[in-house]
Amino acid sequence: MSQHALLSAGTKSWRSLACSRSELRLDLTLGCGQSFRWRETGDGHWTGVMGGRVWTLTQTDDTLWYHTYNSPNTIGGDGRKRRAGSLLQGSKGSGKRSKGVIEGKEEEEGEPVAVTPDRKEEELLNDYFQLKVKLGDLYRDWGAADPHFNSIAKIFTGVRMLRQDPTECLFSFICTSNNHISRIQGMVERLCQSLGTPLCQLDQTSYHDFPSLHALADNSVEACLRDLGFGYRARFLQQSARQILDSHGGPHWLQGLRSAPYLQARDALRTLPGVGPKACVVPVDTHVWQIAKRDYSCAAGNGQKSLTDKVHRQIGDFFRQLWGPYAGWAHSVLFCSDLKKFQKLKETHSLKQEEEEKVKIKEEGEGINKKIIKMCNRKVKMSVKEEVE
DNA sequence: TTCAGACCTGT
DNA sequence: CAGGTCTGA
């Protein structure tokens, strides 16, 4: 049986990309509730499904390492290539701008350029992590505008927005209402296991692709998902899939929204059942509301019991104005720093700082001339004397 | 337009 | 109650 790859077992089955931890932190980016499909399968090794194939990712100081696994079903065939390609072709049809990193590689339409698997995988990673966006520069700008961000930024480096497959992104999002990360992860996993195409098995874990719209739209899906513990969200998922298929013509509609003007795309998504006001560049929920009040003395909705539309707008506007055009990215950093599971990072960081402080004080103390030590001693003697007397 | 209350399930 | 959304007043 195949096993999850480990970098320590040798680098021959691994490829790499130059990428520092300040530009990307896998643990934070893959664990902060953007995607629910990555698991830490080894120390610092993250395994998940992306672009129709199974990956294990890990990183060293200046390098991002990746390993992909062959799917038994598609070995030797072109099924795998076609699947991965479909993710990119969607945006190709809807406008050249949105091709992003992929642009330029396959631009010449005459001959279909034979892209080697390595090349393609590198492109998939660049696209997924949006590596051409320079996070270091953004952190600098956000820090200059926002002292609180600055205090977080040293610890929570490398938190990026993922450019996920729109279908996966949308249907995972619908699962998040009134819910928390650990439960959502379980739900999405069960969703893929029961409705997604199997890809491969590693150490007793089977990996499946995210279900297609057609699979999600089937009338049997609501009952199926209720059995899997989706609660009232089961109906939203099935109905949204049906609506996209019936009144919008299918997946290309979702793909097309990537290149649509923001407000248009947002409003289009909000017509789907289970997609409410939180679907926004700065997704405002009760949690973000708490952050706004606690860390920014933001008075929006102070008298309110719950998040009304007005409060949503006010908080969204507040952060957009503070952080600028990449406010959604900055939000991820703040959000990440507030997650319970990452609080230990703050402790270890402040412990490190304390240690550094101690060392500093010690060094200073050692450097100081003996006069002071003598003075101290004298004082001690004096005080002892006083006490005695 | 705005606002409770219901809604699945797990802790 | 939770990292919301829908519904009916």
Question: Does nucleic acid strand B have an atom less than 7 angstroms from the CB of A190?
Answer: no
Catalytic residues of A, by residue number, are 278
Q: pLDDT under 50 in chain A at which residues?
A: 75-112, 361-389
Compute the CA torsion angle A329, A334, A340, A342 (nearest 10 deg). 70
Burial of A116 (0-12, 13-18, 19+ CB in 10 A): exposed
How many C-beta atoms lie closer than 10 Å to residue A184's C-beta?
Answer: 18
Residues near A236 by beta carbon (within 8 Å), at least 6 away in sequence: A174, A273, A274
In angstroms, rounded to a whole number, what is the distance separating the alpha carbons of residues A345 and A343?
5
Question: Does nucleic acid strand B have an atom less than 7 angstroms from the CB of A286?
Answer: no
CA of A184 to C1' of C1 (A): 17
H or E, element range at A205: strand A205-208
CA of A78 to C1' of C3 (A): 40
Q: Report how far apart, in Å, the C-alpha atoms of A304 and of each of A4, A138, A270, A280, A317 are.
A: 49, 33, 24, 21, 18
Question: Does nucleic acid strand B have an atom less than 7 angstroms from the CB of A308?
Answer: yes
- Nucleotides in B strand less than 7 A from protein CB: 2-4, 7-10
Helix intervals (H) in chain A: 26-31, 79-93, 117-129, 135-145, 147-153, 166-175, 181-195, 213-217, 221-227, 233-248, 251-257, 262-270, 286-296, 309-323, 327-337, 343-367, 370-388
Residues paired with residue A67 on neighbouring β-strands, in sequence order = A56
| Mean of the per-residue pLDDT values of chain A | 83
Q: Are A139 and A34 a contacting pair, CB within 8 Å? A: no
* pLDDT at residue A72, rounded to an integer: 77
- Nucleotides in C strand less than 7 A from protein CB: 2-6
Report residues 131-190 of A contacting strand C, contact meaning Cβ closer than 7 Å: 176-181
DSSP string, A43-102: TTEEEEEETTEEEEEEEETTEEEEEEE--GGGTTSSHHHHHHHHHHHHHHHT-GGGGGGG
Question: Does nucleic acid strand C have an atom less than 7 angstroms from the CB of A224?
Answer: no
Question: Does nucleic acid strand C have an atom less than 7 angstroms from the CB of A316?
Answer: no
Report residues 275-294 of A contacting strand C, contact meaning Cβ closer than 7 Å: 275-279, 283, 285-287
* pLDDT at residue A379, rounded to an integer: 35
* pLDDT at residue A107, rounded to an integer: 35
In angstroms, rounded to a whole number, what is the distance separating the alpha carbons of residues A354 and A200?
47
* pLDDT at residue A100, rounded to an integer: 29
Go through chain A and tell me how many residues it has: 389
Question: Does nucleic acid strand B have an atom less than 7 angstroms from the CB of A226?
Answer: yes
Q: Considering only CA atoms, name the residue closest to the C1' of nucleotide B8.
A: A231
pLDDT tens-place string over residues A319-347: 999 999 999 999 999 999 999 999 999 87
Question: Does nucleic acid strand C have an atom less than 7 angstroms from the CB of A266?
Answer: no
Q: What is the pTM of this model?
A: 0.82
CA of A240 to C1' of C8 (A): 23
pLDDT tens-place string over residues A177-227: 999 999 999 999 999 999 999 999 999 999 999 999 999 999 999 999 999
In angstroms, rounded to a whole number, what is the distance separating the alpha carbons of residues A292 and A304?
14
